[in-house]
Amino acid sequence: MSAPTLQTGADGRLRHLLTVEGLPRPRLEELLNTAESFLGVTQREVKKVPLLRGKTVVNLFFESSTRTRTTFELAAKRLSADVINLSVSTSATVKGESLLDTLRNLEAMHADIFVVRHGTSGAAHFIAQHCLPHVAVLNAGDGRHAHPTQALLDVFTIRRHKPNFDQIKVAIVGDILNSRVARSQIHALTILDTAEVRVVAPRTLLPVGIESLGVKVFTDLTQGLAGVDVIIMLRLQKERMRGALLPSEHEYYRQFGLTEARLQGAHPEAIVMHPGPINRGVEIDSSVADGARSVILEQVTNGIAIRMAAMSLIMGTRTQDGREVG
């Protein structure tokens, strides 16, 4: 058993989901296995189980993201929880209430889960450190730091196509420097003993010392994709274009955009992934995004199951509910 952390607690069970980094492999696989059982629920006639009935999930979004919020809202409702959506920049902080006071108030209202999205790295950890024992925190993206449910749904999706991580090569392509998604993916893939994890990006979008995470670095797309089993394209934030980091959208696409031609260099059965939303014609060509090797929409479907799994597991450590899926 690993040492207790903020998110796994003394008994080693999952209390919060803050980051993939340092998550013991059994915990990560428990999440994937639980999600597997929830996939069935989302395909049923009645897409609902009573696991979190009477529980209150608060979507605490300090950074707006309708798409991500919707996936958590759907996951919570399919677990029969009550959901409150709070867009915090437009509410309490208007009256000058501090983050901690907002938390204390929501705790006093008997919220059970905070789904936290914040522009500052470490925000979800901060909240988990300061919240009451009965409250669980789910990190829905914090600054450049982590986006654990995204990385989990990604390895979940990979596992359904390539179950043996120790035999596959995965390339993550794009803005590694600014991506909390990439960081979390690298950690998840490493925990699962992936044979080879590559990052592929222009030098200006690679963080210094990235090799220390155990990845192979490529600045050429053709070389980076050679023989890989999984290609994960990252979204290019258009804001980056304005700065000096990148020459132009067109130039980026020419060098790092995933086209049918580029895809030829990968393993013939390679799958193509993207966390969405896609910039068609910037980081990926439409024919690839919509093509036979793309599993991009499976990722979305799997994302609901992963979020249901995370919510039910972190609540399971606080209640007598058990974790059986009805």
Active-site residues, by number, are 67-68, 95, 117, 147
From 14-22, 37-45, 201-209, 211-219, give the range in contact with its own copies by CB under 8 A. Answer: 37-45
Q: Which stretch binds its own copies (CB under 8 A): 38-46, 156-164, 165-173, 198-206?
A: 38-46
Q: Is the peptide bond before 277 cis (omega within 30 degrees of 0)?
A: yes
Q: Which residue carries 């799997």 as its tokens? A: 302
Exactly one of 33, 66, 222, 223 binds its own copies (CB under 8 A); that residue is 66
Cα–Cα distance between 246 and 167 in angstroms, integer? 34
Q: Would you give the binding string for its own copies spanning residues 235-274, x where CB under 8 A is met?
A: ---x------------------------------------
Q: Does 291 bind its own copies (CB under 8 A)?
A: no
User: If residue 150 lies in a helix (H) or strand (E), which one and from where to where?
Assistant: helix 148-161
Q: Give bridge partners of residue 317 from the DSSP assignment.
A: none
Which residue in the set 9, 12, 37, 74 belongs to the binding site for its own copies (CB under 8 A)?
A: 74
Phi, psi of 17 (to 5 degrees): -125, 100
Q: Decide if residue 70 touches its own copies (CB under 8 A).
A: yes
- 89 binds its own copies, rule: CB under 8 A: no
Report if residue 30 touches its own copies, rule: CB under 8 A: no
Q: Which phi and psi angles does 3 have, rounded to 5°?
A: -65, 145
Secondary-structure breakdown of the chain: helix, strand, coil percentages, each rounded to the nearest 5: 40, 15, 40
Which of residues 25, 67, 250, 254 is near its own copies by CB under 8 A? 67
Residue with tokens 């999930």: 57
Stretch that binds its own copies, among 4-12, 26-34, 170-178, 277-285 (CB under 8 A): 277-285
Cβ-defined contacts of 5-14 (< 8 Å, 24+)? 6/125, 6/128, 6/129, 7/128, 9/317, 11/317, 13/313, 13/316, 13/317, 14/310, 14/313, 14/314, 14/317
| Min CB(107)–its own copies separation in Å | 8
When binding is defined by CB under 8 A, the residue of 301, 317, 323, 325 that contacts its own copies is 301
Exactly one of 18, 28, 32, 86 binds its own copies (CB under 8 A); that residue is 86
As given in the structure block, the two tokens for residue 126 are: 């901060």
284 three-class SS: strand
Name residue 85's amino acid: N
Binding of residue 78 to its own copies (CB under 8 A): yes
According to the binding rule CB under 8 A, does residue 157 interact with its own copies? no
Could you tell me the smallest distance in angstroms from the CB atom of residue 41 to its own copies? Answer: 9
Please report whether residue 36 would count as binding its own copies according to CB under 8 A: no
Binding span for its own copies by CB under 8 A among 3-11, 123-131, 205-213, 297-305: 297-305
Q: Decide if 255 contacts 219 (C-beta within 8 A).
A: no
Per rule CB under 8 A, is residue 223 in the interface with its own copies?
no
297 touches its own copies (CB under 8 A): yes
91 binds its own copies (CB under 8 A): yes
DSSP for 84-138?
EEEEGGGTGGGGT--HHHHHHHHHHTT--EEEEEESSTTHHHHHHHHS-TT-EEE
Query: Which residues lie near its own copies (CB under 8 A)?
Result: 42-48, 53-56, 64, 66-67, 70-71, 73-74, 77-78, 82, 84, 86, 90-92, 94-98, 101, 104-110, 238, 276-280, 297-301, 303-304, 319-321
